[in-house]
Chain A
């Protein structure tokens, strides 16, 4: 298990290095001068050149990239071109709001998703199962930003139940302002989670160990939760781990529509402004976060599934 963990961590580091290299190439391939944006149209050519030199943007792409890797090792993600603040500080100020949003969206996706998935599997073919299936596919087909706009128009503007913008300061305010964005981001995942879990449970329910448990006369509820769900949940964990990535990109829309702070909006604005240090820093942090979540998901699967554990032990 330890060797497996170390291998997965090493692989994660390689993924981060490759992502940053690819990102460097991509953002420099796009036209647009961050220095002109930072200094505004009235800046003289001499001032632009001096600023470019100071930011290291006059150096080759390879040199800039190597310097960035070295800086990362020192915990330095560079300086925000526009505000001159350290990028790490800028990102860390935004990260909690995005993590809360994704956490909220996960709760929205997982709790009803699992309940519906289990219900549909147990009552396969029932009216409720079919209704859940239709609703799941319908909601999955609607982009999260469309859901966001309709939630906002209905619950904030029409009914006035929820605030339309901001993230709040006190704990109750933060939770209150998190409900609509979390729904917008997580709603589509309810159906997805439910469908995957249902299919997985139906497969596991046909396996021999479940028939054996039934033969021993174990209560159906115990069989479902201790023997079926424990195995059937594994693909859902993997999908939700990958879903974090989609939620991070979906957070951009949720943060813009709901006027919330967060790293989704931060990176969006930074790309528009060609604020390269913030773009690379934010992508680095989100990549590390994404890789970490998937590492945890893999380890969780290894812990939950004795077959995986045994394979690793061999």
Chain B
């Protein structure tokens, strides 16, 4: 879901552009200062925020969303998410055409004339085979091996044609494998030239942009690749600045140093009411899902009636309203709107009387609990509201804040015994646009790893495995909804919300954002 807010009329925009343009010329002449030059869109440069510096651009080993954003500019994946669609609609990019032969065979034909930089020639089906099999090969230890876990091999049938042969049907193939870095195609020769791996200096590029200049943690400048023919990128230069803190990026935008930035969550209500000067604000609902987890193996919380009482005691609407100041809505699951498996209704809503009755039935009186959270304003506000709501049913809650590194080890068995003491906690996970990414962390196998609730259900595990190979969308949808029912029925989860994403875009630039607010810089346009 995305909505755009802009209070600037066309006339005001033209007036301000003229004034700003004159001012920019004067100021740039005087100071060479880009804050003044920022209001000019001349020169075909887009200055954007990168959420972190690049750290690994290898499709098999990338580490962050920033890596993936930049890789989309440098390399060509088999598919991309349609930049003109409001939904996650996969659309062939390197592939000219494809045919689903049967559940385990996908025949494809590459576009001709996709040229690699340097001496690496044209993209061929052999490169497809190399790239996909490289990630799927367990010997290569790729963290993204799961994206190609069902890949048997890629059969090359011609210079530009081949068939992806799977061991079993694999539903996420078109939603979170082929349109993501796992679907990017690079030549084997380039890897051989650098000893098999690279990090931030790719030996080859083929996408709409190529790296012009990279100053670590300072700046990444991409320039248009003249050999790229699949579509016409609008900007000659993408000038990307790594800024982890969205509040800083927001100030950079307001000062005119950036044409695109993400706003801090706390600023979303303000920008929704008053869009930034010389810019517009775009609201999106992210894929990140937030929830309150309850550790069912903790001695105090072993009785399901106690956990159910906590579910009834908490109004997720009130919690989310307080934490996000109206910028987000409460949710009923872990799969975002617009994706297969999105769930609309919770099973156990806010009912403090029922909560009190369940606690009495369980023989619990004067319950004292702890909640572990990270040091963010949103988590603290949410925890304080939960504290007040629980106090209303006679539960005393102590809030423990941790810095992120410490927090993320609390429930992991391999990191010590702290998981035993964890009771309630606020968590947020990110995902790719396929429901399998959301549910994978709550299987029995994940207990003590990322499943801190220690929720364990054979039915859930089976559904999770079956849904991966179910190609019928309706059936798949029902399976994922059922899995979220099981999660809630366990008493281990209180679903809160999907993370709101606010984007600030300078007037004169036409942003292209995925439905979850992630920018597709390679598709940004000038108005």
- Decide if B36 touches A160 in the complex (CB within 8 Å): yes
Residue of A with least CB distance to B251: A164
- Name the segment of B204-212, B341-349, B403-411, B469-477 touching the other chain: B403-411
Q: Chain A nearest CB: distance from B77 CB in Å?
A: 18
Interface residues of B in 224-259 (CB under 8 A from A): 241, 243-245, 248-249, 251-252, 254-258
- Decide if B199 touches A157 in the complex (CB within 8 Å): no
Give Cα distance in the complex from A261 to B403, angstroms.
22
Interface residues as binary, B480-497 with A (CB distance below 8 Å gives 1, 0 otherwise): 000000000000000000
The answer to the question of B33 belonging to the interface, with a C-beta cut-off of 8 Å to chain A, is yes
- Decide if B141 touches A47 in the complex (CB within 8 Å): yes
| Given A82-B55, A157-B251, A164:B257 Cβ within 8 A | yes
Looking at B31, B200, B219, B251, the one whose CB has the most chain A CB atoms below 10 A away is B251
Give the residues in chain A near B251, CB-CB below 8 Å.
Answer: 152-153, 156-157, 164-165
Q: Chain B nearest CB: distance from A296 CB in Å?
A: 28
- Name the segment of A83-91, A105-113, A183-191, A283-291 touching the other chain: A83-91
Give Cα distance in the complex from A153 to B255, angstroms.
9
The answer to the question of A24 belonging to the interface, with a C-beta cut-off of 8 Å to chain B, is no
Give the residues in chain A near B405, CB-CB below 8 Å.
Answer: 30-32, 37, 271-274
- Decide if B243 touches A83 in the complex (CB within 8 Å): no
Q: Chain A nearest CB: distance from B56 CB in Å?
A: 6
- Decide if A170 touches B32 in the complex (CB within 8 Å): yes
Give Cα distance in the complex from A95 to B420, angstroms.
43
Q: Chain A nearest CB: distance from B37 CB in Å?
A: 10
Give the residues in chain A near B412, CB-CB below 8 Å.
Answer: 33, 36
The answer to the question of B218 belonging to the interface, with a C-beta cut-off of 8 Å to chain A, is yes
The answer to the question of B35 belonging to the interface, with a C-beta cut-off of 8 Å to chain A, is yes
Give Cα distance in the complex from A101 to B280, angstroms.
34
Interface residues as binary, B252-294 with A (CB distance below 8 Å gives 1, 0 otherwise): 1011111000000000000000000000000000000000000
Looking at A32, A47, A261, the one whose CB has the most chain B CB atoms below 10 A away is A32
- Chain B interfacial residues counted at CB < 8 A: 49
The answer to the question of B509 belonging to the interface, with a C-beta cut-off of 8 Å to chain A, is no
Q: Chain A nearest CB: distance from B45 CB in Å?
A: 14
Q: Chain B nearest CB: distance from A28 CB in Å?
A: 12
Give the residues in chain A near B145, CB-CB below 8 Å.
Answer: 44
| Given A47-B141, A166-B257, A259-B243, A84:B199 Cβ within 8 A | yes
Q: Chain B nearest CB: distance from A160 CB in Å?
A: 6
- Decide if A164 touches B252 in the complex (CB within 8 Å): yes
Q: Which single member of B143, B252, B415 contacts A33 (CB below 8 Å)?
A: B415
Interface residues as binary, A143-173 with B (CB distance below 8 Å gives 1, 0 otherwise): 0000000001100110010111111011011
The answer to the question of A219 belonging to the interface, with a C-beta cut-off of 8 Å to chain B, is no
- Decide if B406 touches A30 in the complex (CB within 8 Å): yes
Give the residues in chain B near A271, CB-CB below 8 Å.
Answer: 405
| Given A163-B34, A166-B241, A31:B144 Cβ within 8 A | no
- Decide if B408 touches A32 in the complex (CB within 8 Å): yes
| Given A31-B410, A93-B217, A163:B248 Cβ within 8 A | no
- Decide if B255 touches A157 in the complex (CB within 8 Å): yes
- Decide if B33 touches A176 in the complex (CB within 8 Å): yes
Give Cα distance in the complex from A161 to B123, angstroms.
49
* Interface of chain B: mostly helix, strand, loop or mixed: loop
- Decide if A31 touches B406 in the complex (CB within 8 Å): yes
Give Cα distance in the complex from A2 to B441, angstroms.
64
Interface residues of A in 33-88 (CB under 8 A from B): 33, 36-44, 47, 50-51, 82-85
Q: Chain A nearest CB: distance from B277 CB in Å?
A: 10
Q: Which single member of B144, B200, B249, B414 contacts A83 (CB below 8 Å)?
A: B200
| Given A32-B406, A47-B143, A167:B32 Cβ within 8 A | no
Number of A-B contacts defined by CB within 8 Å: 135
Give the residues in chain B near A172, CB-CB below 8 Å.
Answer: 31-32
Give Cα distance in the complex from A35 to B405, angstroms.
12
- Decide if B200 touches A259 in the complex (CB within 8 Å): no
The answer to the question of B326 belonging to the interface, with a C-beta cut-off of 8 Å to chain A, is no
Give Cα distance in the complex from A208 to B73, angstroms.
74
Residue of A with least CB distance to B408: A32
Give the residues in chain A near B408, CB-CB below 8 Å.
Answer: 32, 36-37
Q: Which single member of B244, B248, B409 contacts A31 (CB below 8 Å)?
A: B409
Give Cα distance in the complex from A222 to B405, angstroms.
58
- Decide if A90 touches B216 in the complex (CB within 8 Å): yes
The answer to the question of B428 belonging to the interface, with a C-beta cut-off of 8 Å to chain A, is no
Q: Which single member of B200, B252, B406 contacts A165 (CB below 8 Å)?
A: B252
Give the residues in chain B near A31, CB-CB below 8 Å.
Answer: 405-406, 409-410, 415-416, 418
Give Cα distance in the complex from A32 to B407, angstroms.
8
Give Cα distance in the complex from A84 to B146, angstroms.
23
- Decide if B143 touches A43 in the complex (CB within 8 Å): yes
- Decide if A261 touches B216 in the complex (CB within 8 Å): yes
- Decide if B254 touches A164 in the complex (CB within 8 Å): yes
Residue of B with least CB distance to A92: B216
Give the residues in chain A near B257, CB-CB below 8 Å.
Answer: 163-166
For the A-B complex with A41-B441, A272-B404 known, give 14 more contacts whose Cβ atoms are closer than 8 Å.
A42-B144, A84-B56, A97-B218, A160-B255, A163-B255, A163-B256, A164-B252, A164-B254, A166-B257, A173-B33, A256-B245, A259-B248, A271-B405, A273-B405
| Interface, chain A (partner B; CB < 8 A) | 30-33, 36-44, 47, 50-51, 82-85, 90, 93-94, 97, 152-153, 156-157, 160, 162-167, 169-170, 172-173, 176, 256-259, 261, 265-266, 269, 271-274
| Interface, chain B (partner A; CB < 8 A) | 31-36, 55-56, 63, 141, 143-146, 199-200, 215-219, 241, 243-245, 248-249, 251-252, 254-258, 403-406, 408-410, 412, 414-416, 418, 429, 441, 450
5 contacts between A and B (CB under 8 A): A41-B429, A166-B257, A169-B219, A258-B248, A271-B405
